[in-house]
Structure 1
């Protein structure tokens, strides 16, 4: 490759130095976009969804990550296939055995770094612990760009004891963290409590103000364009595209403001205040997800169970007596392992209750569970050693032909993002790739 500089071309291109203050005047409003609820996805791809609602029933997704995982010997079955013998943890879910598939030998290629990997559970962005790491779009937000406009709330990002501003399963296309909502009462209000006419008018005013701000930002960005070099012009073009997408989201949000919210019999929950009430919080967040799906208020929910950030939690009203994170580094201590087993079994009971709740609800002659994909797993295969391979994964519902135990190579793991591609296709989104996928999930097909 020649190192010669093309000096004539260089002379004909005059790029004036752009003072930082001028740039901030032109694009500084972008720093305030989260205040305009820009953390929810734009609807730019909604027109390109593969199937309309009239062509297929609505499909939902709940993705749950417990960032301290589960004790592997108690989770993974020793046999494979449909007739596998359930492990101690899966024995708790035996009545739902035909409704889920347990995966072993799966992971995200190149996602390492131990605890930081929880931020990549739904993105599969590589090397989250490295300097300069930048995340990518999460599975739920990718889907929301296609189907988010179909519901009042495009997606719900929930958390239990999540470290605010540092941990989330949901990330925008620009790799920006979407904060977890940790108060069930706030979720309930957003989904079901109708504001007064005055409050609705005020919200619409704020939305329109947001649209006017977007117009101003786009105009200022256009003014800047002529004084920038090629790379910066490309960045401005990308920025203007993002502004247009946000304007579309704001228009859609305004339309929803004038529609009445669903009426339900479930009362607004009280928010547990103590982090030790971890399991109670999990149960309430599962309840909020179920209600969102049942009323078709949202079809995409993520839930981060930030066990790393949890203290000595309570199981059946009794304190476990040690911090959750400390227990995960058990060093094969029988006392710690016994306490971890009690926690893991409580998780399985909560999950079983969720499966039962979704299976008990009927929608157009089908169980809601058959229209809801429930992904439960962890970014850690072994929290004791911070291993990010051989992840414990349960995948339930969604109208799939479940295969019992799908066992892949424990040494050369199968890419978990392949499951994400299958999930996207199940939601009617035409794609054959997501992150580091190599195709759809092998051995797991839709029911006819």
Structure 2
């Protein structure tokens, strides 16, 4: 199944027929024997990662711009992949201020999260889903590390509703690979049917008084009906997928790491689960929030534990011992990412590899956690077959919207989008 964009009408027609149009995805041959598949053209994927406490900015950003820049101390950890990533400076979300409150806005760019009556907006991953339909069992997977599930997420609906994260690798593995019994499948289908009946009833009730509303209210109601119809379509497709066999794997189910102090082990395991989801074509979009705010005293290495919980450590107040520890924390984080890039680049897919077909965005909602600054965000984009090997530096005092980069990611994924959130253009200099 080739990823492509759809108009609203053609997308709905596609989704209504998806139950008979797609079976279990046929998969491309991987170096690992865990999966075997064959597709005409490898799909495009996105892995969107945010650490809500960021990194020490002076060790992250290069001093020079362009292609001949000298790697910064942190980017030295990624030297082997220099030609496969782009680092950005001078990007942020306009009017997204409020310290830690901005963490839920990293993929939405919703303004003024501390303002009275704030309501979040649709996140990048969910916007992409609206245009791509559901060519895989899961439209997206929304993951977390040490996540405060009730209050934090990278993924939000068009109506500004938080989509909860999955923080248990074992449960994620079960959803992707463990086939339910016939009775379990029937029960799940029954639940999906019941949700559909509720939506039908709500729609009928609202249609009965729609004619009595003013123009603005009718427009709002039309938007609501559109959301209801799209949800019904998703329920229909979910029902079709529920009746299809899940892919097989020779991997063992992972054991959950319950100790929050094992922060980097948990981060690495979740990245491995995201990779497994891509390899099995269970989804093509994954979000991952690394919740430093909720992380207590943690292990930096086998020999060292943090002086404080991650949040308190990030508010270093220029204390030399805290800054030195944060540098080691940030370097370890870069090393975990480097290992992911290595694994993806070793996985053959078509005439290339999995890294070339996966756009990996790593960044944070905070440019400097010590002072709650939310400008000049640390942003790294890796893979995806884009034109990399450069530092794209924009005005650090008058930042360019980060959403411009999001527009380019959408377009690279095959979505005909000219705008997203606060964008005022794109960064298509990344496209080949």
- TM-score normalised by structure 1 residue count: 0.86
Superimposed CA distance per residue, residues 376-410 of structure 1 (whole angstroms, 9 cap, x where no aligned partner):
00111111111111111110001101142111111
- Which residue of the partner structure matches residue 49 of structure 2? 64
- Tell whether the 8 Å contact from 1:47 to 1:146 is kept in structure 2 after alignment: no
Structure 1 Cα separation of the partners of residues 390 and 113 of structure 2: 32
**Pick from 336, 356, 366: which aligns with 1:380?**
366
1:80 matched to 2:65? The reply is: yes
8 Å contact kept, 1:46–1:149: no
Partner of 2:10: 47
* Deviation (angstroms), 1:188: 1.0
Following the alignment from structure 2 to structure 1, what is the Cα–Cα distance between the partners of residues 105 and 123?
8
- Unaligned runs of 5+ residues in structure 2 are 1-5, 15-20, 26-38
2:287 counterpart of 1:324: no
Residue 241 of structure 1, CA deviation: 2.3
- 1:353 counterpart residue number: 339
Partner SS state of residue 297, structure 1: coil
Partners of 1:248 and 1:46 lie apart in 2 by 12
Does the aligned pair in 2 maintain the 1:46–1:146 contact within 8 Å?
Answer: no
Which string of whole-angstrom CA distances, capped at 9 and with x for unpartnered residues, describes residues 147-182 of structure 1?
Answer: 241110000111112222211111101111111111
- Cα distance in 1, alignment partners of residues 307 and 187 from structure 2: 48
Is the 8 Å Cα contact of residues 104 and 408 (structure 1) preserved in structure 2?
yes
Residue 135 of structure 1 is matched in structure 2 by 120
Aligned-pair CA distance for 1:44 = 8.7
Residue 28 (structure 1) aligns with? none
**Which has the larger displacement, 384-393 or 219-228?**
219-228
What does 1:94-113 correspond to in 2, within 5 Å?
94-113=79-98
**2:11 touches 2:133 (CA, 8 Å); kept in 1?**
no
Match of 1:154 in 2: 139
Match of 1:278 in 2: 263
Residue 182 (structure 1) aligned to one of 154, 161, 167: 167
Q: Which of residues 420, 427, 440 is equivalent to 2:413?
A: 427
Aligned length: 403
Partner residue of 2:383 out of 397, 409, 414? 397
Write out per-residue CA displacement over residues 1-23 of structure 1, whole angstroms, 9 at most, x where no aligned residue: xxxxxxxxxxxxxxxxxxxxxxx
Aligned equivalents of 2:239, 2:63: Cα separation in 1: 53
Q: Give the whole-Å Cα distance in 1 for the aligned partners of 2:217 and 2:404.
A: 35
Shift of 1:443: 3.0
Q: Using the alignment, how far apart are the partners of 1:380 and 1:418 within structure 2?
A: 18
Aligned pair in 2 of structure 1 residues 55, 412: CA closer, same or farther (>3 Å)?
A: farther
Query: How much does 1:315 deviate?
Result: 1.9
- Partner residue in 2 for 1:212: 197
Please give the TM-score of this superposition, normalised by the length of structure 2: 0.89
Preserved contact between residue 46 and residue 145 of structure 1 (Cα < 8 Å): no
CA deviation string 1:416-442 (max 9, x = no partner): 111101100011100111111122115
For each residue in 1:46-105, what CA deviation from the matched residue of structure 2 results, as whole angstroms up to 9, or x when unmatched? 8359x9999964110011010111101111111222222111111111001111001111
Q: Quick one: distance in 2 between partners of 1:442 and 1:149?
A: 26
C-alpha contact (below 8 Å) 1:114/1:387 kept by paired residues:
yes
Counterpart selection for 2:285 from 277, 300, 304:
300
Gaps of 5+ in 1: 1-42
**Selected match of 1:266 from 251, 267, 275:** 251
Contact 1:403/1:443 (8 A) holds in 2: no
CA distance, structure 2, for counterparts of residue 343 and residue 46 of structure 1: 49
Q: How far does residue 225 in structure 1 lie from its aligned partner after superposition?
A: 3.1
Q: Is the 8 A contact 1:102 1:406 kept in 2?
A: yes
Q: Is the 8 A contact 1:204 1:257 kept in 2?
A: yes
Which of 207, 231, 237 is matched with 1:222 structurally? 207
The separation in 1 between residues aligned to 2:116 and 2:199, in whole angstroms, is 33
Aligned in 2, Cα 1:382/1:152: closer, same or farther, shift over 3 Å? same
* 2:309 matches 1:340: no
Residue in structure 2 matching 1:121, options 102, 106, 109: 106
1:256 matches 2:236: no
